[in-house]
Structure 1
Amino acid sequence: MFRGVGTAIVTPFKNGELDLDAYERLVNYQIEGGVSALIVLGTTGEAPTVNDNERERLISKTLEIVGGRIPIVVGAGTNSTEKTLKLVRQAEKLGVDGVLIVTPYYNKPTQEGLYQHYRYISERTSLKIIVYNVPGRTGVNILPETAARIAADLKNVVGIKEANGDIDQIDRTVALTKNARSDFMVWSGNDDRTFYLLCAGGDGVISVASNVAPKHMSDLCSEFFKGNLEKAREIHRKLKPLMKALFLETNPIPVKAALSLMGYVENELRLPLVPASEKTVEHLKGILRESGLL
């Protein structure tokens, strides 16, 4: 579907409404920075607080701005299989390239339940599907063996966003899924694990940091793919303070604060999220200045 960087893009708000002018500026900043895809309405896009009408408007606006230049993937995961399918069908009708489906949260399915969840959806859509494993948010961890079973059986499931911070699991997920199907892709779900996942044989990152630094993140991946390991490692080390700063508070609180400092969006979130503390904002100012982004 894509190699390199897919930006998990924020959803800008202004006075409680979608800010589509700011969104257009931000999307173009991403494309100009060289990202390979956009992931719309994920966790970073505050999807749980965006209603169905707003989803349609935001997806349609993304398609209009991008104009086929890069793939568009829409977050469609919920903890209800039928509701997830409804969101997948909305995305399919609008004409996106794929969907990102998080493992069902709160109700904590078994590994068999996870497999059947993805099987049910994959059999009912022609869209490409990316599995999203983020146990820190969902309370459930999709094991490498289950990911490999999905890769082997469900052909329109094209890859997994792996946000489990366990390096051993990352290594096993890459090895088992690619053994099951050579074209199955693995993206890091944590910016600070991108370099390690690439070294393990992965395909890139679905990134929060690229909202702020699209060229830097794109260069990290492109240098690695060109075989310039030392250059990729150097970029990774330079970006590490920014990557850490963007998770000083719950994502996307810091990234919205950073983008606000850079003039791209209002520093506005929807409850239950609130803007970053003054301490976090001051820290972000310093990091952005050191990185040449402010």
Structure 2
Amino acid sequence: MTIPPLKGIISYPVTSFHTATGEVDLAAQSRLTDDLVAAGSHAVAPLGSTGESAYLREAEWDAVCATTLQTVANRVPTLVGVSHWSTEGTIRRARVAARHGATAIMVLPQVYWKLTQTELEQHYAAVAAATDLPMMLYNNPGTSGVDLLPETVVALARKIPNLTMVKESSGDVARFRAIRELSEGELSVYNGSNPVALEAFRSGAAGWCTAAPCLVPQWALELYAAAKRGDDARADAVLAELLPFLTFIVAHGLPRAIKAGLQLQGRGAGRPRTPLLPLPDQETEELRQMLEHLTGHPLLGGAGPGTAGHTA
């Protein structure tokens, strides 16, 4: 059985923008990244959909990649989302990530036309061949419009040696076990659907890819710790507290919700980039109440004190 290069809580930072100009704010990006490492994240994964990577210019993407990896400074593993509409663009990003010292890369089939099996194989094979980094296939039918079933995932991995990991975000918990069994344990599976985090761990997921640690890191870490040691009562109790928040941030879009939460905590990362818009006032107030409950601290909006949450 393959030993996964990543495990545990894999934290997804948003991409920070200057409020006044809308340009990438690399100083804020570095602070958020450092917060995630200091809070105990087992890995950091920039430039996924949470990081609004599809809306970044290539020079911006490169700068965020470099800044994040430099800030992490090999304290924990890094997983860089290198997806692009074209194979050429994905290869370019993969090489940039490798040059800056990424531990692994993640590839979502980010498409307009639905890809055939042959096109998927050629795309993933070409990206995998561009570096010698381990590669994570990212299945997120809700954002990509392509649903890669376990049989398809395993067939791709058999043809691409460094495709060793799968992030499964369909919300179908049965797929975690199916991928592991079909691949005879050679593929490590990671959960990307926040509401099923505990079920995923119980079904053999090696890690949880989540933006939740941007706002409440200790709750995410405690859920993983309880699941890992088999403390079902504690894991169930933690999930019961955390689930309304997890459901909320997914339902309202991670960049919107996480950036609103950071603003409430006095750790602003700017507005989402259009066409995304900030979280509306009513929903922001709902988020404030959830965060105050989870952290035990009153929040004062942009002028309030920063907080990384408390031990769950």
TM bracket, shorter-chain basis: over 0.9
1:196 maps onto 2:218 in alignment: no
What is the CA-CA distance between 1:293 and the residue it aligns to?
A: 5.7
Name the residue aligned to 1:13.
17
1:59 maps onto 2:65 in alignment: yes
Name the residue aligned to 1:22.
28
Please state whether the residue corresponding to 2:135 is helix, strand or coil: strand
CA-to-aligned-CA distance 1:139-164 (integer Å, 9 cap, x gap): 11111011112333322112011010
Alignment of 1:28-107 (within 5 A): 28-107=34-113
Partner Cα separation in structure 1 for residue 117 and residue 217 of structure 2: 35
Identity of aligned residues (%): 29
In 1, are the aligned partners of 2:125 and 2:160 still within 8 Å (CA)? yes
Cα-Cα RMSD: 1.7
Name the residue aligned to 2:258.
255
Alignment of 1:100-249 (within 5 A): 100-177=106-183, 179=184, 182-249=185-252
Provide TM-score, normalisation by structure 1: 0.93
Partner Cα separation in structure 1 for residue 94 and residue 150 of structure 2: 24
What is the CA-CA distance between 1:195 and the residue it aligns to?
A: 0.8
Name structure 2 gaps, 5 residues minimum. Answer: 298-312
What is the CA-CA distance between 1:197 and the residue it aligns to?
A: 1.0
In 2, are the aligned partners of 1:248 and 1:254 still within 8 Å (CA)? no
In 2, are the aligned partners of 1:111 and 1:142 still within 8 Å (CA)? no
Residue 174 and residue 260 in structure 1: after superposition, are their counterparts in 2 closer, same or farther (change >3 A)? Answer: farther
Please state whether the residue corresponding to 1:210 is helix, strand or coil: helix
Provide TM-score, normalisation by structure 2: 0.88
Q: Larger % of strand: which?
A: 1
Name structure 1 gaps, 5 residues minimum. Answer: none
CA-to-aligned-CA distance 1:85-134 (integer Å, 9 cap, x gap): 11111212222111110023221112343233212221232112111100
CA-to-aligned-CA distance 1:34-64 (integer Å, 9 cap, x gap): 1111111111001112212222222221122
Partner Cα separation in structure 2 for residue 191 and residue 197 of structure 1: 10
Partner Cα separation in structure 1 for residue 160 and residue 282 of structure 2: 46
Partner Cα separation in structure 2 for residue 121 and residue 105 of structure 1: 15
In 2, are the aligned partners of 1:38 and 1:71 still within 8 Å (CA)? yes
What is the CA-CA distance between 1:273 and the residue it aligns to?
A: 0.6
In 2, are the aligned partners of 1:248 and 1:280 still within 8 Å (CA)? no
In 2, are the aligned partners of 1:49 and 1:270 still within 8 Å (CA)? yes
Partner Cα separation in structure 1 for residue 201 and residue 179 of structure 2: 13
CA-to-aligned-CA distance 1:164-216 (integer Å, 9 cap, x gap): 02233344234323x1xx34211111111111111111112110212211221
Partner Cα separation in structure 1 for residue 101 and residue 74 of structure 2: 11
In 2, are the aligned partners of 1:262 and 1:293 still within 8 Å (CA)? no
For these two proteins, the number of residue pairs brought into alignment is 291
